[in-house]
Amino acid sequence: MFAVVIAVILYCFGFVFLYGVIRLAVRQALEDLEVRRAQALRAEELAANRDRTFLKENAFLAGG
């Protein structure tokens, strides 16, 4: 009987631990996604700025 009680307690604590690990992993993934979104937006802005600068310096290539 004692072994069954210990097994049930460990089983329940296992689920609580697993829930915590999954929650931590999801939170970390969402933070990484947010950082990557910001980096992608910044890269897009830099690329657009670089294109505008290039076209200003080389207007003959743009037909202007």
> What residues does each domain of the chain span?
20-56
**Mean pLDDT taken over the chain:** 93
Query: What does the alpha-carbon distance between residue 38 and residue 4 come to, in Å, rounded to a whole number?
Result: 51
Is the pLDDT at 41 greater than 70? The verdict is: yes
pLDDT band at 18; cut points 50, 70, 90: very high
pTM for the model stands at: 0.61
Q: Where are the alpha helices (DSSP H) in the chain?
A: 2-57
Asked if the model's pLDDT at residue 63 lies above 80, the reply is no
User: CA–CA separation, 11 vs 56, rounded Å?
Assistant: 67
Return the pLDDT at 64. 62
How does pLDDT run across 22-34, given as a tens digit for each residue?
A: 999 999 999 999 9
